[in-house]
Structures are given as structure tokens and as C-alpha cells.
């Protein structure tokens, strides 16, 4: 039995365990299926919420970001337009807009400070108000707050119109300032030349000069080495300087006095010299070569002095007369050549309508090889347009002063031709053609040499009444006394002495000098004398044509260059 029960029990337990096993398997399978479903659902949800690292991630991210920042959703909100409207009504803009609602007199009172502020980059507030409000400011000056910036802009317009309206007045002031500078230069030169400076002015001028220590460098990067002093003028001291940065080339360096007016005058002179280099060189290349030019770096600052770099020349003709003329003038071959260079320089100036006003032997520089001269010192030079504004009877050096300047008549480049004629005579004789201690004395000397003056010319001009009566008679005044003598024009009908007589007297005095006697046959000497006499006659004729009292009849540079005396000019061999 036991075995039966045992067998029976085992079968029953086996059946029971089988069904339990099936139930457990079914449960595990169901749980596994549920787990798989949960995993799939969670994986699907995870993939929707978190993009994978594949290439589609960037695309999903790209599409998702605009969804968060899209303005369309914000524009659908009914509250947003109210916010835009409130932005336009910010207190900052209201504060600027309030003055526009005030009466017109209040706006007028506050207009000047608004105009002063407008140029300081403040008007950018106007476009912002316009964009926020959505409507442009009215152009009829309404009371809209957006119109406030326009008020400031309109306030600046009348100021601009006022400036343009004052251009004529500004130009007039500039011309007056230019004329004052010109008169300062002329007056300073006259006082220096005629030694009319006061002691105080002289001492001040001496203190203002630049005093260099020779052998010391100067200029940018110590480029120039000062080697010798060449001279001293009214406004400057001149030194010879070697340009160590330009293959050791020598230049003349002019150091301007430490004076504001002298500096301004020099800057004006340099500006004119650049104009001569550009315009005169184009209009008359041959003549422009007879004008002194700037050299090297042109200008630099040194120890508070303005320095101008110029072409280096040997010396001026005044020094040349003393050195080579020995009191009797230069040899005629030199006069031929130098005269040609002078007229070439004047032709170049005339081509661009510039009046030199200071032509004399001191301002004619001899080249290093002594074969030519160049015209220098353009400090008092000016255009013919300015010549009509500057009327003074001490323009030009006294011994080279044209009669129309003394009379106060309109003048042109022809006054330089008068100075050229007087200079040529002095080069040949080492004497002044016209000498007088005053303008009245100068006119008397001119009438004696050049002949009478027509009544029309004698009675016209700003200063004519100082020297001529209404009848045209000359009023001779004795300097230092009150005595006056009236001389009719008939007194000067025959020039006495003439230019030719003066030249012959000088030539005779020169021939009597011991070192002028020539050995050799008398025929050769006679031919040389005849040739020299003919040249003197031609020189006298040229000087007389340059010194005609009427500027309209006076020779021009072109006419002088074709004169027989100039045609004899030839290059002089350097010795």
C-alpha cells in the first residue's frame, strides 16, 4: 500500500507541479511581454523627447529652436500691441517731447543749446522714436512728440544759412589779414634798409635771430651739418648746411626769427615758391630756371625756429659788385648774361601774374660757377589781384621804386621792369641811377634823367598831391626845411644827364684805372674801345626803355629779351 500511495502521491504531485510550472511560465511570459511593451513605449517616448546622435538631430534641433523663439506665437497674443504702444510712450522720449508742447517763445529761448548739442552725435534718438511710434515726424512744425528732434535739426539750418551768408564778410577779413601781413613785410624791409628801426626793435630782432654753432647737426634725425654762415636778412639768418642723408649735398638753410609774423610771412613765401615751381615751370620753363627754388626737404622745425632749405648759390650781386667790380661795375660780358637771366625771371613771373616788388642786386644770386644769376626773396611778392589792394608809397626799395608806386597809382608787373632797368645800370657802374633821400627827391631825380611827366600821370594817384600841383607842375621839397619850389614840366624837357652820358662817364673813370691799361698795338685797343662804346650805347637804350615813366610805354620782359644788348649774351666760362 505504501508503495501504491507513494506512487499515487507522486503522480498527483507531478501533475500539480506541471500545472504550477505552466502557470509560472505563463506569468513570466506575460511579464516579459509587458516589459517589452514598456521598453518599446519608453524607447519611443525617449526618442521623441531626446534626439539621437544621428544626423537627424541637428535637423530636429534646428526646427525646434525657431518654435520656441518664433515671433508668430508672440504676435498672436492680444497683449503685445499694447506693449509696443507703451514702448513708444517711454518717459525718456516723453521728456524730450515735452518742450515741443510749450509756447513758441519758450522754444526760441532753448533753441541755441539745442543747436550746440545737435552736432555731438545726439540726433540718433530721432529714428528710434520714429520706428517705435510707427509714424514720421510732421514737417510743418506740429506739436507731435516725434517732431522734437526735427526742431533741433531745423534750428541748425538757419545757423548754416547764416554762415553761408557771411562768406563774403569772412573772405573780406581774410583779404584784410593778408594785406596786413604784406604791409608788415614791406614796412619791416623799409625800416631795416633805411635804418629807421628804434633801439627797442633792433634789440628785439637780434634776440629773435637763430645763432648756430658751426659743426653742430640740425634738422630731423640730425640730417644737416651747419658749416658756415652765409648772411643775415631782415627775417632770418642763412647758413650753408651739408645734407648727410642726400649724398653730402650742400644747401642754403634759412632760419627764421622766433617771431609769429615772420613765421607767417615765411610760410606764405614758401607757398608762393611752390606755386612758382608748379605753374611758372609749366608756363615758362626757361624763365622758371632763373628763379631760386626750394631744395631737399624744403622745411623743418629746429629749436623753435622755422628753417627753409634752399638751393645753394655763391653770393648775391651786391657782394659780387664789391668783389669783382672794384667800385666801377662788372665787365660788360657779365652784364649781358646777367641781364638776360633777370628778364627771363621776370617773364616767368609775368606769365602767372606775380609781382616781385623787391628786385635789387641783393636779391639776385650768382650761381656757383658764376655763369648765371637767379632771382630770390619772394617774401614781399604778390599776385596782381592783391596789388590792387596794397597801396603804399614805400613798396619796393627806394632806389628801385617805380614812379607809379610813389604816386599811389595802380601798378602791375611793370614796376619790376623799372627796378630791372635801375639794377642793370648799377651792375655796369656800381652806382645808383636814381638817388634821393625821400620819395620827392626820387621823383626829382627821375624827371631829370627820364624827362617830363604828362599832366594826366602827374595829377593821378593817391599820393600825387604830395608831389605835383593841379597844373601838373612838380613841387620840389627840401628835406629838413619847409622851403618849397615849383618846377614846370618844361624844366625837364631835355634829360640832363642822360643814361648814356652817365654810362660813358663811368666807363671813362674805369678806363683810367691803373690795372685797366692794356699793352699791345693801338689798333686792337681802338677796336676794343669801339666795341665797348657800342655796347654802352645799347645798354643805355635798354635801361632807358625799362625806365620810361609811363608804365604803359615801358618795355616788357619779352621786348627786353629781343633787345640788341641781350642778344650779345653768351655763357661765361667759369674761372
Reported as a single tens digit per residue, the pLDDT across 491-550 is: 998 877 889 889 988 888 777 766 655 555 677 777 777 888 889 999 999 999 999 999
Can you tell me the distance from the alpha carbon of 379 to that of 267, in angstroms, rounded to the nearest whole number? 9
353, 304: one domain = no
Taking residues 383-409, report their average pLDDT: 91
Domain end call among 255, 276, 310: 310
253, 355: one domain = no
Domain end call among 310, 334, 359: 310
The pairing of strands 474-477 and 484-487 is antiparallel
- The secondary element (H helix, E strand) that includes residue 345 is helix 332-351
- The secondary element (H helix, E strand) that includes residue 250 is strand 249-256
CA angle 322, 328, 331 (to 5 degrees): 90
Tens of pLDDT along 241-267?
999 887 789 999 999 999 999 999 999
Per-residue pLDDT at 395 exceeds 50: yes
502, 353: one domain = yes
**Nearest CA among 356, 375, 366 for reference residue 321:** 366
User: If you count them, how many residues does the chain have?
Assistant: 575
C-alpha cell at 385: 589781384
Sequence-distant (≥ 6) Cβ neighbours of residue 292 within 8 angstroms: 273, 310, 311, 313, 365, 374, 375, 376
Sequence-distant (≥ 6) Cβ neighbours of residue 110 within 8 angstroms: 99
301, 337: one domain = no
C-alpha cell at 169: 564778410
Tens of pLDDT along 430-441?
999 999 999 999
**Nearest CA among 548, 261, 551 for reference residue 384:** 551
- The secondary element (H helix, E strand) that includes residue 2 is helix 2-49
Contact between residue 330 and residue 324 where contact means Cβ atoms under 8 Å apart: yes
Per-residue pLDDT at 460 exceeds 90: yes
C-alpha cell at 158: 538757419
> Known catalytic residue: 358?
yes
554, 441: one domain = yes
563, 424: one domain = yes
245 CB burial (10 A radius; 0-12, 13-18, 19+): middle
Among 250, 341, 358, 377, the active-site one is 358
Domain end call among 255, 287, 310: 310
Which CA distances in Å does 40 have to 31, 36, 56? 14, 6, 20
Tens of pLDDT along 165-214?
577 777 777 777 888 888 888 888 888 787 777 888 889 999 999 999 99
Contact between residue 243 and residue 250 where contact means Cβ atoms under 8 Å apart: yes
269, 341: one domain = no
State the chain's mean pLDDT as an integer: 78
What is the per-residue pLDDT for 71? Answer: 52
The pairing of strands 224-232 and 382-383 is unpaired
The residue segments making up the domain with residue 207 are: 198-310
Tens of pLDDT along 1-24?
444 444 444 444 444 555 666 777
464, 322: one domain = yes
**Nearest CA among 421, 369, 444 for reference residue 540:** 421
C-alpha cell at 403: 614812379
231, 276: one domain = yes
236, 382: one domain = no
Per the model's pLDDT, the better-predicted residue between 418 and 131 turns out to be 418
Per the model's pLDDT, the better-predicted residue between 129 and 561 turns out to be 561
Can you tell me the distance from the alpha carbon of 203 to that of 197, in angstroms, rounded to the nearest whole number? 10
Chain centre to alpha carbon of residue 23: 114
Tens of pLDDT along 369-394?
999 999 999 999 999 988 878 888 99
What is the per-residue pLDDT for 122? Answer: 40
Taking residues 84-111, report their average pLDDT: 41
254, 326: one domain = no
Residue 185 lies in a domain: no
Check whether the bond before 199 is cis (ω within 30° of 0).
no
Amino acid at each position: 500500500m505504501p508503495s501504491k500511495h507513494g506512487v499515487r502521491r507522486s503522480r498527483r504531485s507531478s501533475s500539480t507541479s506541471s500545472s504550477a510550472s505552466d502557470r509560472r511560465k505563463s506569468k513570466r511570459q506575460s511579464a516579459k511581454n509587458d516589459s517589452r511593451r514598456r521598453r518599446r513605449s519608453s524607447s519611443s517616448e525617449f526618442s521623441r523627447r531626446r534626439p539621437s546622435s544621428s544626423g537627424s538631430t541637428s535637423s530636429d534641433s534646428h526646427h525646434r529652436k525657431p518654435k520656441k523663439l518664433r515671433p508668430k506665437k508672440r504676435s498672436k497674443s492680444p497683449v503685445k500691441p499694447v506693449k509696443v504702444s507703451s514702448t513708444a510712450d517711454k518717459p525718456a522720449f516723453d521728456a524730450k517731447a515735452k518742450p515741443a508742447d510749450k509756447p513758441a517763445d519758450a522754444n526760441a529761448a532753448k533753441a541755441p543749446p539745442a543747436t550746440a548739442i545737435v552736432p555731438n552725435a545726439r540726433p540718433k534718438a530721432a529714428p528710434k522714436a520714429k520706428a517705435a511710434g510707427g509714424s514720421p515726424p510732421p514737417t510743418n512744425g506740429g506739436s507731435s512728440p516725434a517732431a522734437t528732434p526735427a526742431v533741433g535739426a531745423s534750428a541748425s539750418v538757419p545757423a548754416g544759412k547764416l554762415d553761408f551768408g557771411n562768406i563774403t564778410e569772412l573772405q573780406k577779413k581774410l583779404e584784410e589779414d593778408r594785406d596786413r601781413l604784406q604791409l608788415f613785410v614791406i614796412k619791416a624791409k623799409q625800416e631795416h634798409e633805411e635804418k629807421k628801426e628804434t633801439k627797442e626793435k633792433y634789440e628785439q630782432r637780434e634776440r629773435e635771430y637763430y645763432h648756430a654753432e658751426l659743426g653742430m647737426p640740425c634738422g630731423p634725425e640730425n640730417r644737416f651739418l651747419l658749416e658756415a654762415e652765409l648772411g643775415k636778412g631782415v627775417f632770418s639768418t642763412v647758413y650753408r648746411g651739408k645734407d648727410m642723408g642726400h649724398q653730402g649735398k650742400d644747401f642754403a638753410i634759412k632760419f627764421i626769427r622766433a617771431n609769429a609774423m615772420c613765421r607767417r610771412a615765411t610760410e606764405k613765401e614758401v607757398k608762393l615758391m611752390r606755386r612758382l615751381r608748379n605753374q611758372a615751370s609749366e608756363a615758362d620753363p626757361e624763365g622758371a630756371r632763373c628763379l631760386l627754388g626750394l631744395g631737399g626737404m624744403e622745411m623743418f622745425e629746429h629749436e623753435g625756429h622755422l628753417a627753409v632749405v634752399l638751393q645753394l648759390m655763391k653770393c648775391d650781386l651786391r657782394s659780387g659788385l664789391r668783389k669783382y667790380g672794384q667800385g666801377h661795375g662788372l665787365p660788360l660780358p657779365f652784364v649781358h648774361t646777367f641781364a638776360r637771366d633777370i628778364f627771363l625771371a621776370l617773364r616767368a613771373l609775368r606769365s602767372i601774374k606775380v609781382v616781385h616788388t623787391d628786385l635789387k642786386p641783393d636779391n639776385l644770386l650768382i650761381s656757383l660757377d658764376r655763369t648765371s644769376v637767379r632771382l630770390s626773396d619772394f617774401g614781399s611778392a604778390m599776385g596782381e589781384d592783391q596789388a590792387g589792394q596794397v597801396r603804399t608809397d614805400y613798396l619796393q626799395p627806394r632806389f628801385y621804386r617805380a614812379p607809379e608806386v610813389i604816386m599811389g597809382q595802380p601798378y602791375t608787373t611793370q614796376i619790376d621792369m623799372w627796378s630791372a632797368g635801375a639794377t642793370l645800370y648799377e651792375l655796369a657802374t656800381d652806382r645808383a641811377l636814381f638817388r634821393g633821400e625821400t620819395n620827392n627827391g626820387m621823383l626829382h631825380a627821375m624827371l631829370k634823367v627820364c624827362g617830363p611827366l604828362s599832366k594826366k600821370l602827374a595829377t593821378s594817384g593817391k599820393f600825387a598831391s604830395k608831389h605835383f600841383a593841379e597844373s601838373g607842375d612838380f613841387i620840389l621839397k627840401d628835406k629838413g626845411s619847409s622851403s618849397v619850389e615849383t618846377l614846370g614840366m618844361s624844366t625837364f624837357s631835355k634829360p640832363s644827364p642822360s643814361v648814356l652820358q652817365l654810362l660813358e662817364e663811368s666807363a671813362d673813370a674805369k678806363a683810367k684805372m691803373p690795372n685797366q691799361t692794356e699793352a699791345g698795338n693801338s689798333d686792337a685797343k681802338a677796336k676794343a674801345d669801339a666795341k665797348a662804346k657800342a655796347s654802352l650805347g645799347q645798354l643805355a637804350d635798354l635801361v632807358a626803355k625799362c625806365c620810361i615813366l609811363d608804365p604803359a610805354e615801358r618795355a616788357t620782359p619779352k621786348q627786353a629779351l629781343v633787345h640788341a644788348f641781350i642778344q650779345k649774351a653768351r655763357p661765361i666760362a667759369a674761372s
